[in-house]
Structure 1
């Protein structure tokens, strides 16, 4: 598995707001926000349920990662997907940095991945309260 998730029963836009606020509390900013639903409609005229990809970054941890491995930017930021399911529930899916960054042969990067995962797990936990 390369991610972990939770299901919520609340409006999509409220989940987006809560995810962004919870990320901020753990030191993450959202560098990118890709609205897949809007992009599919605009580019290929396809209707799709709400689906957003948030590119989350903790600047201090990203700097440590870049200093440890200059090419690590290829694997950043940590993506968080928020999507509406067929049953109208909302899935919030977090990239698992430990799983993704195990391809990097560096104990320092592995330790950072563990630290980032811990923070993202705290975000997930705060959302399910």
Structure 2
């Protein structure tokens, strides 16, 4: 099982972040958190890192279904989406594969939730590569 659903886009970094947020919104995901990991590491420990943002995306109906099956599933929510500079003019966008949630919990009740989340996240990521 792959850890991520991913694509690489040719775009300025800030544009890729904006496009990612828009693609997620088209699939019913809001961005609850945005962590600028490169800025945080620079500030806290002086470490240099390429542009790297972690978006905490949430689809409320899917989140509700998931916590209805397993209250501890909140430990794996929201779905993390990473936008990171990956080369000369390219940006990699990666979403956590929701199937990991099923594998970690081994709860068959989460299968339909993970399948729908996978479909929606894959559509958002695919839209970036189009």
Same fold by TM (over 0.5)? yes
Deviation >6 Å, runs of 4+: none
- Residue 104 of structure 1 is matched in structure 2 by 105
Matched length: 129
Cα drift, residue 66 of structure 1: 0.7
SS of 1:122's equivalent in the other structure is helix
Q: Is the 8 A contact 1:102 1:110 kept in 2?
A: no
Q: Note if 1:115 corresponds to 2:113.
A: no
1: CA distance, partners of 2:52 / 2:120 = 23
CA RMSD in angstroms comes to 1.1
CA contact 2:102–2:108 (8 Å) conserved in 1:
no
Question: Following the alignment from structure 2 to structure 1, what is the Cα–Cα distance between the partners of residues 89 and 128?
Answer: 17
Query: Mapping of 1:15-30 within 5 angstroms?
Result: 15-30=16-31
| Counterpart in the other structure of 1:67 | 68
2-structure distance, mates of 1:75, 1:112? 13
- The 3-state SS of whatever aligns with 1:102 is helix
The answer to whether the 8 A contact 2:6-2:92 is kept is yes
Tell me the TM-score normalized by structure 2. 0.94
**Residue segments in structure 1 that go unaligned for 5+ positions in a row:** none
Structure 2 runs not aligned, ≥5 long: none
2:6 counterpart residue number = 5
> Matches of 1:43 and 1:88 in 2, distance apart?
27
Q: TM-score, normalised by structure 1?
A: 0.94
